[in-house]
Amino acid sequence: MLTAKIALCHALSPIAPISALPPQLQQAVDKGLLVQPRPNIYVLGTVHIGSESAKEVSLLLDAVRPQTVVVEVSPSRVQLIRRRNKSKVKGVKQGRSLQDTSSNQLQVAFASLPALAQRGWSTGGLGGLVFSTTIIWGSLLRRSLTANEEAVVLPRTDEFAAAIEAADAIGATVVASDIEIDQLMGAVARSMTPRDWVSLGINIAKETVGLHEVDPVHRRRNESLIDWEERRRNRATARASKKHGDQTAPCLSRALVDDRDDRFAESCLRILQLSEDIIYEAAEGKGGGNIIVCVVGLVHLDGVIQRLKN
C-alpha cells in the first residue's frame, strides 16, 4: 500500500526534472556529480577541496527547496558545524587570516595523535589503534601539509557545513546520516584481520617506492592544486579510487564505503516511508512529495544511486 502511495506521489508531485535546474548547476549535472535517481531525490557528489562543491550545494538547495537534507556527517558534528557557521562572520571581524589559521593545522594534527591513538585502542583494540593512527591521522597530516598552499591558491569551503547552513536558511530538516568516529573505528577493527592489515601495509609500502599504483584520488607529484581539484571533480576518478580500495584492502573499502553507502541510501528511503501525510496531500492534488537532497562524498555517489534505484 505504501509503495503504491509513493508511486502516486511521484506521478503527481510538481517536482522539476534535473534538466530544469538553473544553468549554474548544469555543469555538475553534465559531469555526473548531480543525479536524480528518483523524482523527488537529488544526490550531489562532492569533493573535499576548493569551494565548488559548497557553491553547488547552496545553489541546489535554493533551487529545489527541499524539505529534508541528508548529509554525510555524524549527529554529533551537526551542532558543532552550526556553531562554526554562526561564528564565521565574527572570525572575519577579528582579522583572522587564512594563512594564520592554516599554519596551525600541522601543530593540531600532531597534537591530536595521542588522543586518536587512545580512542582507537579503547574502541577497537589493535585494529582500532592502527586505523586511527594511520588512516585517520594520516589524512589529517596530509591535509595540514598543504593547508598553507590551499589557503593562498584554492581556499576550501566545507560543503557539508554549506549544506547545513543552506538547509537552516530555508527551514529544511537536516538528517546526519553518517556514523560517529568511534563507531567507524569499531567497524573497521571488526572487519580487518591481522592478515588484512599486513596486506594493506605491504601495498602501502609498494606504493611508496613506486612498485604499486597509488590511489588515483591522491595528488600527483608536481600536480597543481587547480589540476588536482579538476581531476577529483570527475566521477571516473572516484570510481578508480573505489576500485583501487577494493583491490588493495577490500575489507577496509567495505567498511569505509559500501556500508556507509547503505546508511546514506537507507536514510533517504526511510524519509520517503515516513512521508505518508505528504503523499496523501499529493494524491489529493494539494502539493508535492517530500523533496530530499542527499549530499555525500563523490566516492559514495555510485553506491547511493544504485541503492536508491533498486
* Structural domain count of the chain: 1
Domain extent, residue 121, equals 2-309
The pLDDT tens digits of the residues spanning 184-199 come to: 999 999 999 999 999 9
DSSP at 25: G
Is 266 a residue whose pLDDT tops 70? yes
Is 4 a residue whose pLDDT tops 60? no
- Residues 6 or more apart from 22 whose CB is under 8 A from it? 59, 63
Residues 257-271: what's their mean pLDDT?
Answer: 96
- Residues 6 or more apart from 128 whose CB is under 8 A from it? 119, 120, 121, 122, 185, 186, 188, 189
Is 94 a residue whose pLDDT tops 60? no
The average confidence (pLDDT) of the chain is 87
Is the Cβ–Cβ distance between 121 and 114 less than 8 Å? no
pTM: 0.86
The pLDDT tens digits of the residues spanning 99-138 come to: 444 457 778 878 889 999 999 999 999 999 999 998 999 8
Write down the residue that cell numbers 597534537 correspond to: 111
Is 254 a residue whose pLDDT tops 70? yes
Is the Cβ–Cβ distance between 47 and 230 less than 8 Å? no
Comparing CA positions, the residue from 72, 65, 16, 5 lying closest to residue 272 is 5
